[in-house]
Structure 1
């Protein structure tokens, strides 16, 4: 069987569609974190109709959402990754893998972009047991290409993209930067205020600069870069080591000299 990971993001949606045309016995899974935009439910149903298959929804049996994780773990983010990704995504994936025991491959929605190709290479090197497959990279499909494929299929993109976000992560992603959080402050003030209070309650922060920690309730409204370049898509592999160090094979994949499946 093939496991295809659907995240309610544009690239994962198209990767799952391509996987259905490439492989037999594809099972599509979506991990519900409890902190996504309500429009995700609509997008998921639209994609189920497009696929002609149900998407299996799985979730943590220990935590309700991101805020629940932060309060109970009393930890936000660090060198080993975000607490919410570990508890709400990784642990759920591990539980499914333990239940299934065997699979012929796992489909990931990394697109044809140097940074994404590098992440794919690092994932393959560090987690070979997942037997990762990257149909978008194989077919040189970029994120704009994926948006076009959805548009041609008559599927409205998730609301978070229309609001100017570059991904469909949880609302109030703890890996976001200052510009991202200032946009969340404007678009989702209730989420901003809730996370700001949690930071104080557990004495931990999402943000820091060279001078140290920055609590959200002290974040100046003018700080931060444009939200488009703030954070990558949140994946089931939250902390891939050396993902910022470009592997020598990335250029060869970009030039078509080798396939992503052939990298070592």
Structure 2
């Protein structure tokens, strides 16, 4: 398996009520001699926020993605390992081993088709787990593929559409047959249309991940808009938003 060595994913739940972990990293980078060269500013709520730093002619991006209410750090491959280790030493980050251990039961739930046959109850933590897996893995992994495959068959529309949103972090070619199956077979027209949109992006030279290949986060906006369309189709009642994992800035 190949892990996303260029992404350090912050374990956000460990910072509730504390200083923003990306501010901690920014202060650390400044102390290491890095220069802040571009930013949206972390006060922005209705789109992904980022800061771009340069250290020894190498880029580091600090990203807060309000679609998933999560933060991650994108480190160019030529950044000194001393800098990478200094970042990891100063933040609580998601490791593959820790994530799989923490979510061992959940992993079994989502990897086991028999559980899905029993209509596995929706669990909000499943969404976080799916998105973190997509952020962690760089290339195809069979076990993770099986988790994605079963998540796309989950009875919850929110689980299925959130899984499709998570794919914009990875763009594995191996996912295309799964997405095409959603286009053909999903019982929700909005989800089928979203999946069709994803397939069209595979034809672009660089489908991209926000702030790594895309300059404008148009894919991020698509995820939000399709989720909102799905919400509106449910008559926008309070109980209908629980499984959609919509960002808080929408004030729904």
Q: Which structure's relative contact order is higher, taking Cα pairs within 8 Å and 6+ residues apart? A: 1
The interval holding the TM-score normalised by the smaller chain is: under 0.3
Bigger share in helix: 2
